[in-house]
Amino acid sequence: MKSTASNILVCVTQQKTCERLIKKALEFSNDEDSLFIIHVAKNDWSFLDNEKEGEALEYLFGIAKSVGANLTVLRSDDIVDTIVSYSQDNNIDLLVMGDSKGDHSENYFYKALKSRLDKANIHVVPN
DSSP label at residue 46: -
Strand order of the sheet with strand 34-41?
70-75, 34-41, 7-11, 94-98, 121-125
The 10s digit of each residue's pLDDT in 10-52 is 999 878 788 999 999 999 999 899 999 999 988 876 655 666 7
The 10s digit of each residue's pLDDT in 92-105 is 999 999 987 654 44
Give pTM, 2 decimals.
0.86
pLDDT band at 81 (very low <50, low <70, confident <90, very high): very high
Alpha helices in the chain (DSSP H): 19-28, 51-66, 79-89, 108-116
Domains of the chain: 7-125 (3.40.50.620)
Greatest pairwise CA separation for the chain in angstroms: 45
**pLDDT score of 90:** 96
Percent helix / strand / coil, the chain, rounded to 5: 40, 25, 40
Instruction: Give the Cα separation of 17 and 52 in Å (integer).
Output: 12
